Amino acid sequence: MGDTEKKKKKLKKRRKGGSRGLNRSFGGDVFIFVILAIFGLFFAYPLVYAINNAFKPLNEIFLFPPKLFVRQPTLNNFQDLFIIMSKSWVTFSRYIFNTVFVTAMGTAGLIIAASMGAYVVSKYPFPGGRLFFALVVTTLMFSGYVTAIPNYLIMTGLGWVDTYLAVIAPAIAMPMGFFLLKQFIDTIPDALLDAAKVDGAREWRIFIQIIFPMIKPAWLTVMIFSVQSLWNARASNFIYSEQLKTLPYALGQIISGGVARAGVGAAVTLFVMIVPLLLFVFAQGNVIQTMASSGIKE
């Protein structure tokens, strides 16, 4: 597959060097840097405040006007959180397992299903393909609150209520994942696939060894969206058994304890947000590349 490898490298170089031809003055660069720094500080403020709040004692949490940085850091909030969770008749590890399992299976299923479907719709036109893609794009206009009742009726009809599938199945069908992957696959030249077929590659080999690695920025972006959604899902509309409930639901019950648990609530906020945050930090470059390439055609 010599020709295929050469064309893959050429396409990667074109994507990396596409913005090198732009020239700006020094003053323009400084102006852009200042504007981005201002917006960066503006958006970072809530994050820094939440992190500091988790380590504040109660007297600092209720201080008015509130202070951004903690003065006397403490781990009491986290200790109280684990003490409360240890008294639950369902172990804390069980809640964590439920959330990790649902998040992992839902995200993996979404990436596999969406990438395979997007590949077919993008590179193999079939009757009704454009209509199908238009319907997928149309579903992006509807929020989860609009589709909550239809989802519940479908899960009830399938007998999946109070099971993991009630949360995993709708996550696999997330239209945003299909849309992003399809738009990214559109940027891959058909000549690259034709060269692979001439070299004797079959469809599965083309998809696994050529398409899937080349759309890595896109499926990493989809993974971030999926993990963020599933990690924070309480799933209380579908899951009734305490043994199957997710971690955000259990932590939400702790926060509802009142003012006395304000410190624990701050620790809960940090605990819930840390996983999606770290995932985004490590994959943010791929997110930017996906957004920049999603509208480019060959």
- Tell me if 116 is assigned to some domain: yes
Q: Give a yes or no: residue 61 inside a domain.
A: no
- The top-scoring range by mean pLDDT among 73-82, 135-144, 174-183, 254-263 is 174-183
Instruction: Write down the residue that tokens 């997710």 correspond to.
Output: 246
Reference 8, options 206, 281, 294, 275; nearest CA is: 206
For residue 112, give both structure tokens: 């596999």
pLDDT of residue 243: 85
Fill in the amino acid letter for 271.
F
Q: Which of 125, 130, 180 is nearest to 293 (CA)?
A: 180
| Average confidence (pLDDT) over 54-83 | 82
Question: Around Cβ 169, how many Cβ atoms within 10 Å?
Answer: 19
**DSSP labels for 41-87?**
HHHHHHHHHHHHHHT--HHHHT-SSPPSS-SS--SHHHHHHHHHHHT
4 vs 271: which has the higher pLDDT: 271
Q: What pLDDT, on a 0 to 100 scale, did the predictor assign at position 111?
A: 92
More confident residue, 128 or 22: 128
The count of structural domains within the chain is 1
Q: What percent of the chain has pLDDT over 70?
A: 85
Tokens 């209520």 belong to residue: 161
- List, for residues 159-170, the tens digit of each pLDDT value: 898 889 988 998
With 80 as the cut, is the pLDDT of residue 261 above it?
no
Kindly give, in sequence order, each residue whose CB lies less than 8 Å from that of residue 191, ignoring residues fewer than 6 positions away: 7
Whether 179 is in a domain gets the answer: yes
Integer Cα distance of 90 and 176 in angstroms: 35
pLDDT at 21: 46
User: To which residue do tokens 């399938």 refer?
Assistant: 158
pLDDT tier at 296, thresholds 50, 70, 90: very low
pLDDT-based confidence at 63, cuts 50/70/90? Answer: confident
Contact in structure between 230 and 171 (CB atoms under 8 Å):
yes
Q: Tell me: the pLDDT tens digits for 181-211? A: 888 888 888 888 888 888 888 888 888 888 8
The verdict on residue 27 lying in a domain is no
Cα 72 versus chain centre, distance: 34
Structural domain contains residue 86: no
More confident residue, 145 or 164: 164
Tell me the two tokens of residue 3.
């020709």
Asked whether residue 97 is domain-assigned, the answer is: yes
Owning domain of residue 249? 92-293
**In the predicted structure, residue 226 carries a pLDDT above the cut 70:** yes
* Residue closest to 235 by CA, chosen among 164, 177, 176, 160: 164
Q: Please tell me what DSSP assigns to residue 210.
A: I
Residue 8 included in any domain: no
Q: Does 132 fall in a domain?
A: yes
pLDDT value of position 19: 47
Mean pLDDT of the 14-35 span: 67
pLDDT tens digit sequence for 108-120: 999 999 999 889 8
Banded model confidence at residue 273, pLDDT cuts 50, 70, 90: confident
Please report, for the domain that includes residue 145, its CATH number.
Answer: 1.10.3720.10
